[in-house]
Structure 1
């Protein structure tokens, strides 16, 4: 098992490139502190696209304040081969989501919770979700892996979301896999 080096990770969005994880975390803190009385959802999700000589994986990190907008960024990972095995691809998508979620240590999560805590009785809330690009419908080839991937996300203490609710993976990250 390789050690996670959050410092070596590079995140980006339309405004900034080459952000470290610490910079991402500071942007999330700043976003939440603007209006701490809100309903916040911290969401992670990964999607992938097989290209001719490689497979691109994109993980989205989104902090949303319901009714008040969001701040988001992505992390790209390229595997230098075509990944055609569906289970392998879905499993790696889930692993990349877990990897980013694991950077939010208990200490970091506590910092985020402490922002909304004084406002809980006024309706403020904070949830952390893992969005998985799979669906349970019969026509969906990924339905075979729903239970396995949902269990993995739950084991990390995240609230799992699958299609059609997994929009960080299936819509946001998806845009950057092409």
Structure 2
């Protein structure tokens, strides 16, 4: 498994996490009075001889735009068991979340803090590519995976509210 912490988006390739964090801070300082949601989620796709995992990081200023990037990890085998794949997706999300240390979280909070009384907000969410609907085969894993995300201090989101995993990251797994 390649575990390089390199990120990319349509504008930049091979960004380190420090560069990603710098881009997030730059984006947030453009409008300190924003409603920011830092969302992290992973999706996967099983291919013929390997499995691709894409972790997306999205900083969204509600109604005013977003900045995003991805991290790609390839496992050199088919991961056909759904629980194994969902667990790996959650682990990769947790791995990226762990890079946002308390110090880094405080830097982001300090950007909006002077503007809280004007309505500024900051939240962190963990997006899971699972759903609780009756016809969703991942519903039996919702409690387990959401508990893991909550234990990291994030608000867990599942389908249909987990668009970073189920839509953004999904695009890059093909």
By how many angstroms is 1:9 displaced?
A: 1.0
Runs (4+) of structure 1 exceeding 6 A deviation are none
What is the SS of the residue equivalent to 2:138? helix
Q: What is the alpha-carbon distance in structure 2 between the residues aligned to residue 96 and residue 81 of structure 1?
A: 17
Asked if residue 113 in structure 1 is aligned to residue 109 in structure 2, the reply is: yes
Which of 117, 131, 135 is the equivalent residue of 1:135?
131
Alignment of 1:1-178 (within 5 A): 8-178=4-174
Q: Deviations over 1:21-51 (max 9, x none)?
A: 0000000000000000010000000000000
| Gap runs ≥5 in structure 1 | none
| Gap runs ≥5 in structure 2 | none
Query: Normalising by the residue count of structure 2, what TM-score does the alignment of the two structures yield?
Result: 0.98
Q: What is the alpha-carbon distance in structure 1 between the residues aligned to residue 89 and residue 5 of structure 2?
A: 16
Q: What is the alpha-carbon distance in structure 1 between the residues aligned to residue 149 and residue 5 of structure 2?
A: 21
- Give RMSD over aligned pairs: 0.8
Q: What is the alpha-carbon distance in structure 2 between the residues aligned to residue 163 and residue 35 of structure 1?
A: 29
